[in-house]
Amino acid sequence: MPILRNIAQLATCPSGNPQEDAGLIDNAAVAWTGDTIRWAGPAGDMPPEYNSEPAIDCERRLVIPGLIDCHTHLCFGGWRADEFAQRIAGASYQEIAAAGGGISSTVTATRAASLGELRRKASLTLDAMLRLGVTTVECKSGYGLDTANELKLLEVYRLLNQAHPVDLVATFLGAHVVPAEHRNLRARYVGLLCDELIPAIAREGLAQFCDAFVENGAFTVAEARRILSRAAEYGLQIKIHADQLSDFGGALLAAELGAVSAEHLEYISKEGIEALAGSGTVAVSLPLASFYLGEAYLPARELLTAGVPVAVATDFNPGSAPSFHLPLAMTMACVNQHMTPQEVLNGATTVAARAISASDRIGSLLPGYKADLVIVDMPSLNQWLYQFVPNACIKVLKNGLWV
Ligand code: NIG
Ligand code: FE
């Protein structure tokens, strides 16, 4: 049974803790067998028989659960660096989209790319995420927007999940925007999603979740209700891109439909917060998207005070958030969303796990949980999120193996 010893600070991130308590233990040790944590606690409480087991000396560093990026658009063709320059010169995200750029231009590039090309590119991104300590990634489709190309993206995720050490959780986001060929007949595209794509994806088991972008220029509340209700009938769980650019009713819809998560929420209303408070829905904050678009940050304090758990994720995509650096998003959540380091770490571990319905298996370092953990070259959680270095992660254990 391998043992990690001489840990200066261990964050256990128990799923039952209030978000402000990351279960920190100073002078700790962890033991695992196979892919499962067996014991974690203060070094002085370690069962004496473990003393003869092979030990790894953490040399007084921080140890955390493997990070979970619970909101990404991992797979896409091309990039949109030109739009970054346009936005800096004053064009808004929505103006660029209305002029045919934005998501639509990534749809064109994604349709033109082969499955092999997309897979290679996404695999390199996963390699880099893993080096940052990310061991599980939620990944959305939504740049294909027709049957063949949405299935192509979900197939990339299925293949990568088999081949790559990082675990992938797939979300169908056919309701990202209405593609150009259906623009004058929106109902036909909604029908395609409901009657063709959702049944096919459910049948093939290609996605666990269904998401919809509820916003001006994307999908109305009524359209999203129809699409997501159909997805639920087929056994998919619900996520919503809600209230990102305006107070558009997305959070209310998430509460109404019992969504697992409501994501973005930069412009959530008071009523939206109240609705989420009683719903069990997790709020997913995406500070990198706020940063790159120069938009508001999600009101984390109001949500947490209302009792809504707040996850922290990157939103990695070629438009609003081209960085996959989850620790950067975490430091930004501290500074710009006024979340404490413990709230943020829980937000990128056990609360993120809850946003993908997996908090009973991952996101905590407790007996029975998956042996996914990270040795961070810092003496404490506070020091790590405060100092921010390009990559403080020096070792990643995934499924009980060093990767
Ligand atoms: O989460 N809001 C919608 N989707 C993405 C952006 C996608 C893009 O710009 O390509 C987001 O920000
Ligand atoms: Fe997104």
Answer yes or no: do 29 and 90 share one domain: no
Token digits of residue 241 = 């891109």
Q: Whose CA is nearest to atom 9 of ligand 1?
A: 319
The amino acid present at 103, given as its one-letter code, is I
- Supply the angle between the helices 115-131 and 147-163 in degrees, to the nearest 10: 40
Token digits of residue 157 = 């995720």
Answer yes or no: do 35 and 168 share one domain: no
336, 354, 372: which is the final residue of a domain?
Answer: 354
For residue 395, the domain's CATH number is: 2.30.40.10
For residue 273, the domain's CATH number is: 3.20.20.140
Token digits of residue 191 = 């029908």
Answer yes or no: do 200 and 111 share one domain: yes
Domain range for 324 = 67-354
Answer yes or no: do 200 and 303 share one domain: yes
Domain total of the chain: 2
pLDDT at residue 376 in the model = 98
pLDDT at residue 331 in the model = 98
Beta strand 167-175 with 310-312 is unpaired
Answer yes or no: do 169 and 282 share one domain: yes
Answer yes or no: do 72 and 60 share one domain: no
Residues contacting ligand 1 via CB (< 6 Å):
73, 102-103, 106, 213, 241, 244, 289, 315, 317-320
- The Cα–Cα gap between 183 and 177 comes to 9
Q: Among 96, 172, 211, 213, which residue has the most ligand 1 atoms within 8 Å of its CB, making it the best to mutate?
A: 213
Residues 143 and 193 sit within 8 Å (Cβ to Cβ): no
Q: Among 248, 315, 316, which residue has the most ligand 1 atoms within 8 Å of its CB, making it the best to mutate?
A: 315
Strand order in the sheet with 167-175: 67-69, 134-140, 167-175, 209-214, 237-242, 261-264, 282-285, 310-312
pTM listed for this prediction: 0.98
User: Any idea what DSSP says for residue 66?
Assistant: P
Answer yes or no: do 341 and 323 share one domain: yes
pLDDT at residue 18 in the model = 98
pLDDT at residue 268 in the model = 98
Answer yes or no: do 177 and 199 share one domain: yes
Atom of ligand 1 minimally distant from the CA of 293:
12
Answer yes or no: do 147 and 291 share one domain: yes
State the distance from the centre of ligand 2 to the C-alpha of 73, rounded, in angstroms.
6
The burial class, CB within 10 Å (0-12 / 13-18 / 19+), for 45 is exposed
337, 354, 371: which is the final residue of a domain?
Answer: 354
Atom of ligand 1 minimally distant from the CA of 215:
2
Residues 6 or more apart in contact with residue 371 via CB below 8 angstroms: 32, 34, 35, 36, 37, 397, 399, 400
One-character DSSP codes across 281-326? PEEEE-HHHHHHHT-PPP-HHHHHHTT--EEE-----SSS-----H
Read off the pLDDT of residues 361-388 as tens digits, 9 standing for 90 and up: 999 999 999 999 999 999 999 999 999 9
Token digits of residue 3 = 């043992």
Write out residues in the chain with pLDDT < 70, as ranges: none
Q: Among 241, 243, 266, which residue has the most ligand 1 atoms within 8 Å of its CB, making it the best to mutate?
A: 241
Answer yes or no: do 334 and 190 share one domain: yes
Q: Whose CA is nearest to atom 8 of ligand 1?
A: 319
Answer yes or no: do 231 and 287 share one domain: yes
Answer yes or no: do 222 and 322 share one domain: yes
